[in-house]
Amino acid sequence: MVQAASPHLASPHLASPHRAGRFAAAGVVVLIAFNLRPSLSSIGPVLNEAMRDLHLSAGGAAWLTTAPVLCLGLFGPLAPALARRLGIERTVLLALAAVALGTALRGGGGFAPLLAGSLLAGAGVGMANVLMPGLLKRDFPHGLALLTGLYTMALCLGAAVAAGATAPLCLALGGDWALALAAWALPALLAMAVAALVWRRRIGPGAGAGMAGLRRVGGLLRDPLAWQVTLYMGLQSALAYSVFAWLAPVLRSRGDSPVTAGLVVSVSILAQTAASLPVPLLAARLRHQSMPAAAVMLLTVGSFLGLLWAPLAWQWALAVMLGVGMGGAFALALMLIVQRAADGHVAAALSSMAQGVGYTLAAGGPLLVGVLHDATGDWSGAAMLFAVAGGVAALAGALAGRARLVGAAALA
């Protein structure tokens, strides 16, 4: 039996008449988002050093960048079921604990702790990724575009800071790249502490389990629109994680120093941050989001090809353009999840599908870049991969951007 769900789930935070409580709830969202990318974007700037010390080929190193993204897809779908038992806040805190522990584990220095830590951190990021859109739909039903933009900005800012600061931090630590990677566990621990403080009434002994009545949803797997949203999320993520992992090695192969390459990646991700808020706000004013969804993907592909082949003097401008494209694509992918869902129940389920299947698909991006580089000896394979994946993503985004709702509803 299928029945219509309530327009949105009860909001324990925004129901409070106190403005401070609402700002605190939004601040927690931003702080959590900041910590969902450093474990992924910090490896690229010191990947050459890790490959040298661990005697890895490009194909072998690709597993270090692929494995955590694969965990995003494999562990993300487990999050809603876990939230129904523990509550969304407790599950997010558990995910943050996995991020912190996995990130710290990378400080072991060998291949085994580096891979194990990356897997554990990826699992935590995957669970939090899936739950946060449902939390936004529940707690901010009348400000989704703004909060989605802020959430995406914080994600991109965390990735940018990690990409730009890891190489200088490695130098400051005497070339210890493993310790530089492990240092990103500290902000994750801070986020856990602040979230636990703000959510203390929701996670205390007297708090009820369950995501405020979160229900299972039927009909998503048979819905073409749900698959279009999923494909857009997956392919734009595949390109983004390929950039996180390989843009710095690409630029170093063209003559950049480790610090310069890391800074270029950081500038690109900072541009993502700048694009993350205005793009969804502007797109929300349109009845259809098809045109902006396709345009940002084409901008992403064109800018990356420029970074491969254009003169290095252009790299800063191209990095900004690449960031605008990727930041806009990711913000729109999250926005499509919440806009194409009728309520918080469907948003959580669509988020699980789009990010679970999407990130499993995305895991192939960094791996294929490494394999193609080993096979060709240059970056021409990566260029072809970006062109094909970006074109398909633009088409999926144009279809997913139509003003429709997925044909799914909460089960009684």
408 Cβ contact partners less than 8 Å away, ≥ 6 residues apart = 217, 218, 219, 220, 223, 226, 342, 346, 349, 350
Per-residue pLDDT at 98 exceeds 80:
yes
Q: How far apart are CA 362 and CA 243, in angstroms?
A: 12
CA distance 129 to 159: 14
Looking at this protein, which amino acid is placed at residue 85?
A: R
CB-based contacts of 224: which residues, under 8 Å, 6+ apart? none
pLDDT value at position 5?
A: 36
Burial (CB count <10 Å: 0-12, 13-18, 19+), residue 203 = middle
Beta strand residue intervals within 134-293, DSSP E:
217-218
User: What gap in Å lies between CA 160 and CA 165, rounded to an integer?
Assistant: 8
Does the structure show a pLDDT above 50 at 7? no
Contacts of 338 (CB under 8 A, 6+ apart): 133, 136, 137, 144, 148, 347
Segment 193-211 mean pLDDT: 71
The DSSP 8-state label assigned to residue 405 in this structure reads -
Using CA atoms, how far apart are residues 386 and 264, in angstroms rounded to an integer? 19
Structure tokens at 313: 């003097």
Distance CA 345, CA 219 (A): 13
- CATH H superfamily, domain 19-410: MFS general substrate transporter like domains (1.20.1250.20)
Residue 28 has, within 13 A of its CA and on its CB side, a CA count of 25
Between 184 and 258, whose confidence is greater?
184
Q: How high is the pLDDT of residue 231?
A: 94
- State percent of the chain over pLDDT 90: 35
**In angstroms, what CA-CA distances link 52 with 47, 108, 110, 111?**
9, 16, 12, 12
Query: CB atoms < 10 A from the CB of 52, how many?
Result: 10
* pLDDT tens-digit map of 106-163: 988 788 899 999 999 999 998 998 888 778 777 777 777 788 788 888 888 888 789 8
Pairing relationship of beta strands 409-410 and 217-218 according to DSSP bridges? antiparallel
**Cα-based torsion angle of the residue sequence 249, 356, 349, 1 in order, rounded to the nearest 10 degrees:** 160
Burial letters for 112-134: b for 16+ Cβ neighbours within 10 Å, e otherwise? ebbbbbbbbbbbbbbbbbbbbbb
CA 353 to chain centre: 15
Residue 190 pLDDT exceeds 60? yes
237, 37 in Cβ contact below 8 A? Answer: no
**pLDDT for 13:** 41
The DSSP call for residue 15 is T
Query: Looking at the predicted structure, is the pLDDT value of residue 405 above 90?
Result: no
CB 358 within 8 A of CB 334: no
- Distance of alpha carbon 398 from the chain centroid: 21
Q: Does the pLDDT of residue 204 top 70, yes or no?
A: no
Distance CA 215, CA 345 (A): 6
pLDDT tens column, 8-35: 344 444 444 456 667 888 889 999 999 9
Rounded-to-integer distance, Cα 223 and Cα 47, Å? 40
Q: What is the pTM of this model?
A: 0.75
pLDDT of 303 reads 95
DSSP state at residue 2: B
Question: CB–CB of 131/83 below 8 Å?
Answer: yes
266-324 tens-digit pLDDT = 788 788 888 888 887 888 788 899 999 999 999 999 999 999 999 999 999 999 999 99
State the average pLDDT for the chain: 84
pLDDT for residue 60 is more than 80 = no
pLDDT band at 207 (very low <50, low <70, confident <90, very high): low
Q: Is the pLDDT of residue 411 over 50?
A: yes
- In the three-class reduction of DSSP (H, G, I as helix; E, B as strand; rest coil), residue 307 is classed as helix
- pLDDT, tens digit (0-9, with 9 covering 90-100), for 151-165: 888 888 888 789 888
Q: Tell whether the model's pLDDT for residue 198 goes beyond 50.
A: yes
Question: Is residue 81's pLDDT more than 90?
Answer: no
How many Å apart are CA 95 and CA 23, to the nearest integer?
Answer: 23
Q: What are phi and psi of 67, to 5 degrees?
A: -55, -45
